[in-house]
Structure formats: C-alpha cells, structure tokens
Structure 1
C-alpha cells in the first residue's frame, strides 16, 4: 500500500496546507475507449478522437463541418456495433479497459515488490475516461513529486505517442506545483519486448497441428505522407519485425509486415493487411497467423478488425486456416518487459 501520510511542516502555522509524503508516479497511457457502445457515448468518444489534429491534420475549417455533419451522424452506429461484438458485458467495459486495468495491477505489484510504497502506478486514456488530466491531478494530490509518463505504444508515431505526450504536458499546465516529469522512449527494440513477442508466437504455433505458411505482422497504419514528413513509425515497425524474425531464427520467407485500419482517401503505409492476406491466399498460402505488435492490449483493431474483418478477407480468397495470436496483454513476459522499461526510466529517482 502507498504511504498517504500528510502533515504540516513542524515549523508551519496551523493554517498551513498539509503536505503529503513525496512519492514517484508511473502513469501508463493508452489510446482510450468509449464508455459504452450506444450512440451518444460513441459519438463523444469519436468526436474527441477525430478532432485531434495529431490524428487528422486537415484544416479545421475543412474537416470539422464534415466530421460534425456527416461522420458523427453515421459512424457511431457502425463503430458501436463493432464495439458491441467484443464488449465485456460482465464488467460493462471494452476489452482495452479490462486489459489495461490488469496490466496496471500487475505492474503495481511489481513496483511494490521493488520499491515499497515509494512508487504509485496508475493508468489513463488519451481519449475518453479516465482522462490524463484527472489522473495527473490525482497523482499530484497523492504526493507524487515526480511522474514517469509511459505511453503504451512500442513504436513511436505522432498520432499515438506524441498526442499522448501532448495531453500529459497540458495536464501539467494545470498544476500549481508541477511535478518533475519524464516520458518513456518507444520500446520497439527492447530485448525483453522482443522476447515476449517471440514467446507468444512460439506458444501460438505450438498449439497448432500444422504450422502456418506465413506469419503476418500487422501494425496500425498511418498516411504515407506522415512518413515522408519524418515520422519514424514505419522504420520502427520494420525493425520490430526484423528483430522478432531474428529471435525466432526464421528466414524472410516466413514472415511479412503489413498495415491495417486505413481511413480516408489518401494513400497509407502499404501493404494493407486486409488486401495482403487475400493475396497470400490466392498465392497458395492457405494457412496464416497474424500478430499485432503495435498494440499493447487487445482492442477493437485486433478483436474485431483482425479477428473478424481481416480473417473474412483471407477466407473469402480461399484461405483455410487463420490464427490470430493475441496481444501481449498482461502476459508475465510482457509485464517483465514493461517492468524493465519502467525500472530503467526510474534511474536516479528511486
């Protein structure tokens, strides 16, 4: 348990504000989730997400009328249906929320074992609840004089890591007494992350009677224009795949990198997963497995898009065996990797 002792300095007057014992905060951040799959919660969530200029960088005068008048009128219904198909009805929350809570609990236990009550671990979402601002405020009130902000995106992208960082620093602007802050670097090549990925592939393959002809390593996509503007995401994805292949001891013919979740009319990073798996089936690759290393937790893009839409594309093209290898979630090897990243970034603080 955290030491929440608060007291006034011994030399202070009776009306001096109480001061909480200093702690270090570790704030995990993920993309976010609607509060429910019904229309209005979906609309609020999509409005916040699609209004982020890191995500959609079109001029506001051009984008907002289209978003408000057309997209947010229709899309909450289709997106809500997709969320409903994967919703955790028992806890009334999305799988991303459930898994993020499990990750936070596991990491909090690791930090308690390593540092006792000196480190507080919590989570926030860039969009939706719990908001970054609310969690930063809670950590400061709990006495965190230092906060390590950890966006749970292995590969950096402006539309994920950067916008999460933006929101964190906006939250700091609200604090009278700002804590010292650090942001965790992308961990796309961290040995323990690569090891956790490799172990998940080995477990997935061991459970099959026949090994797949191809492992499709599917990353969330982004407009190609962002790559040309200097975003390192594409390169970091390619390196993750290469390091995973090398750890598995495979040659290049057994693994391929693709990109999913294309949105809008412009060209995105290629090949597109949904098209490429169909091409593989037509080329005689009848058994494939798909893994999604860019996602730290299973979510709408993996449970619905990969395991339903992309699976369907493969099977309609003649594919016979489609295996989805789950995200690392709260797997012990993943918790080991995240704990190692946190420990490295807490150097000099605890």
Structure 2
C-alpha cells in the first residue's frame, strides 16, 4: 500500500468526497494534489458553479454597442437627435427669443400643472409622436444606408401602387412617419407601452444586424417591430392576418416571412427589462422636451392631489419592506415598476 491511498477512495467518487476521506484516513501518505483538483474543490461549499448572469455580463464596450439591452447605455435615437437640437438652440439664440416661452404652462403658488403620463401608463398620442420622431432622426442622421432585402419596400411593396424611383433617396417627413404608425396603432388598438417596446426592438435590430433604417426600408422595419411588440406586450395580440386588413395589399405569407427574419436578426432576444423600458420612456420625454412636444398638462385638483398622496404612501411602504435588503436594488426601476398601476389610481 506504500504511498497509495486506494484503500480510502473509489475512482468513481467526486473530488470533494475523495478529499474528505483522505483527510479522515489515519494512514499517513505523501500524496500530492494536482492544480486541476484544487480548482475544482471548494473549501466550504464544494464545486463552485458560476451564475449565468455573471458569465454573460458584458463589458463597457458591449454596453455602448447594444443600448437596447442595458439600462446604463445611452439610447441611439437621443444621440442622433443632438445635432439638430444644437442647431435649433443656436437659431433661437440668434433670434433672441424662444417660442416655447409663449406656450409653456408654468406652475405657481396657486396652480400646479401635471401631465397624466407615467412610466407605467404613458400618454398614447404624445408617446407615438415621440417614437416616430425618434425614427425620423434615425433616418435623417444615419451614417450609411445598409439594408436587407426582406425590408426593402421596392422588392416587397406594402401597396399595389408603384414605388417612386426616388423613394429610397428622399427622407420622409416626421408627419408621414407619424401618420403611418398612428394608423396601425389606432386600427389595432395598441397601447403606448407597445410603442416604447417597438422602439426598443427597432434599435436592437439596427445594432444586432448592423444595418440602418433609411427611406427605402423604414416602413417594413417599423411594421415588423410593431408586429412583434404587440405580440410580446399585449395579452390579446393582434394576428398577422389582422394587419393585412389594415394594409390591404400585403399578404399573410409576406408578414410571416418578415416576422421570422426579424426574430432571427434579434437572435430571438425579445426580453425587455423594466430598467431598459424606463430608460427609453424617460429618454423619449427628453426628446419631446427638446423638440417642444409637450405632454398634456392639467391643473392639479384636490381629488388628484389626494390620489397622488396615496401613491406616495404605497411607494413609502414598498421602500420600507425592501429597506432590509440591498438599498440600490430596492430603488431600481425593476422594483419601482412593480408598484401598483399609478395611472389606474389617478384615473
């Protein structure tokens, strides 16, 4: 038996069991433990299994390249709108006036103005306007015109009318984009939250597929994002055949094929964390503020003030319940969005 420990272990046993039995064995040996065996064995808990979230945690470069996946990265549409915002501000300074000062409602000691848009229940009309404005800036300030055939409207037209020759080179106006999206949302009775998720999927497609949204493909890209967002977000999703009733000349087969390509290009990543959703909501509000798209304001009434106080108490109670755990986690968007529907309380 000499320097062998075969009497104290079985070759089929795990390294952890083997090590414990070797320590309990009264026979003194000079067995050397290999480096590979030391890595596999944990002193206290045995074999260490790394959590999947730790293994897949992206670096800072991934955060910047995929803003639709991470709450800390700046959204693409807000970055693309900055050039136009700076030009507008310079023009206002040169003209020595700001037109917004003439129309903005300001709170005073006697009257407080609030809008009815919340992160859990955004205002539908203004949210759709902001989302289409984000699409407008994507098209206007694009770096190139990379596209795929499945989204090319000349190869897959949405109407029977002939596509103009300059369709792929002339940037659409914001009104045209808004009219197209508003028709879909109105006919399919989609919600404002669906519009925000649509923008998330759109930017995720652009980064994952390394393509651009341009005059020749914006309608089909937006349609594909709306189609997917409505199925993921709404409990009673709109079927593809229902969209064919809205867009009379498109076929169900074409819709199905576009949906399959969209999902494959997204790598089937349709999850939208609450923190990412909240980031897009507040960035859309910033975009609205920069472009003078104000959310509807109403004077604060006594009844509404009482309901706001009730919401504040709910938030305070939730904070107290979570105070014993990680404070940073309790204040995150994922927890705040888990509160009761504030819009339902206010209405």
Superposition TM-score tier, normalisation by shorter sequence: under 0.3
Larger radius of gyration: 2
TM-score (norm 1): 0.24
